[in-house]
Chains A and B, each alone.
Chain A
Amino acid sequence: MTEILPPGPPREPGSAADPGRLPSPVTGSTGSAAAEGPDGEIALRLRAGDPEALRLAYDRHARVVHTVALRVLQSHHDAEDVTQQVFVRAWRGRGSFDPERGGLAPWLLGITRRQIADRLALRERERAAAEGAARAGPPPPVGPRPEQVLDVVVVADELDRLPETQRRVVRLAFYDDLTQQQISSVTGLPLGTVKSHLRRGVDRMRRRWEAGGAAPGA
């Protein structure tokens, strides 16, 4: 059980293991998301209790966790607390992670959603208590809906992770509303290449959206 990690230089978040620079998962229409790409391996190592896997999971997913928390809670302090708690709980609860039920990212985001919900509930209790004491508190805070924020963030994250040309084609289609023929003209890429880039890129983003919002957590 005891295993010594190979010595190595300390890693800073977002440097050596920047998510965008890691190999992308192989796109395939079958198989569980958990089994694909680096996340599949990280998940297995995490389950096996490899501390480095927690760091790798953090490098790949802390950005999404933090961004979702920040946009919903609209507080840097709370967003950092949530991010910390998500990875602390991911480590302590790694025994409950079931790769058959979904990928690493949906599992982490399930923990994130519960942490955010707890934080919102706490705020509401504090508000209610303050209102009860003062008999006139501020109105309940209205923030963006967590589910909606989460969907937007995971899709944006997947877009960031697309290979360069795929990302460019998807952006031209989504943001500039160009047809595939127009994209071909603008980029000089053959129409068939544009079609396959667009189809693959959109497919990845869609699958990430479908897996990210709905999967059960720990």
Chain B
Amino acid sequence: MRHPGPDELVDAALSTRDPDPGTEAHLRGCPTCRAEVEALRGTAQLAREGADRPLQDPPPTVWERVVDELGPDLDTGPAAAPAGPGTVTTLPSRRRGPLLLAAAALVVGLAGGVGIGLTLGPGDPEVPDAPGAVPLVALDPGSGATGSTGLAEIGGRRILTVALEHSAVPAGGYLEAWLMDEGATRLYALGGLTAGGPDRWTGRFVLPADLPLDVLDTVDVSVEHFDGNPGHSGESLARGRAT
């Protein structure tokens, strides 16, 4: 049996006014082609029902709500982050000390800035570009790192800005901002800084509403490596007060 070609079936499905007698006869005896024609007619019928009814985009605020709800959870990683948004973990006391940070123990709220950065880009008009006047002080004065950090409340959201001048970022590495308590026993990962010019690194981070800034009152910038470890490397460059 010779089946009609695809074009003939499209014709048969759509041109009901002027059916081709040969194709009609074939369809009566061929369930396969009949099913094909029915599917094409169904598609056309659905298209007609949708005619002149434009699809409607959600307002832009919906994406902002997605980002807000996911918060630090919107991080890179193959599976859902083990630590929930806003979670702060405690270091075992024997590991206290600014430069003895055990990376594995420091997986706290994951790099929120990475996700948040999707909406808070460099050109976001509602965020002031210049960070506040609080200085970031190099832990090793010889490193030459200088910077500043600022906290602003915009539209009900707390936004922390970080800027650092530093030339010695190793190849394959990057800078990451954190919030920590005074003894560096509790950490919250803000996210990576992006290169904002020669030797200049910046980041803007929306803080979760329940993040306790009275406890996590110190901004820390560390050198991190693409090593699959989301925790703090222990290589802190500079710190300042988050106020």
Contacts and interface: CB of A to CB of B under 8 A. Distances in A.
B65 A4 contact: no
A54 interface: yes
A37 B31 CA distance: 33
Contact of A10 (B44, B78, B111, B120): B120
B47 A8 contact: no
Interface string B226-243: 101110000000000000
A10 B55 contact: no
A50 B111 CA distance: 12
A111 interface: no
Interface stretch (B8-16, B131-139, B157-165, B209-217): B8-16
Interface residues of A, number: 63
Interface residues of B, number: 62
Contacts, number: 180
B198 interface: no
A116 interface: no
B7 interface: yes
Contacts of B121: 7-10
Interface in A67-123: 67, 70, 79-80, 83-84, 87-88, 91-95
Main secondary structure of the interface of A (DSSP, over half): helix
Given A95-B78, A156-B53, A202-B43, A84 B122 contact: no
Interface in B24-78: 39-40, 42-44, 46-51, 53, 55-63, 65-66, 69-70, 73-78
A124 interface: no
A160 B39 contact: no
Contacts of A205: 43, 46-47
Top 3 A-B pairs, shortest CB-CB distance: A156-B50, A10-B121, A49-B77
Given A10-B121, A50-B76, A83-B62, 9 more contacts: A1-B77, A3-B76, A13-B57, A49-B75, A52-B118, A70-B56, A83-B58, A177-B15, A179-B15
Interface of A: 1-5, 7-14, 47-52, 54-55, 58, 62-67, 70, 79-80, 83-84, 87-88, 91-95, 151-153, 155-157, 159-160, 170, 173-175, 177, 179-180, 195, 198-199, 202, 205-206, 209-210
23 contacts: A2-B192, A2-B224, A11-B118, A58-B66, A63-B55, A63-B58, A66-B56, A87-B66, A88-B69, A91-B74, A93-B80, A95-B78, A151-B46, A155-B43, A155-B47, A170-B47, A173-B44, A180-B10, A180-B15, A198-B7, A199-B6, A206-B43, A209-B42
Interface of B: 6-7, 10-11, 14-15, 17-18, 39-40, 42-44, 46-51, 53, 55-63, 65-66, 69-70, 73-80, 111, 114-115, 117-124, 174, 192, 194-196, 224, 226, 228-230
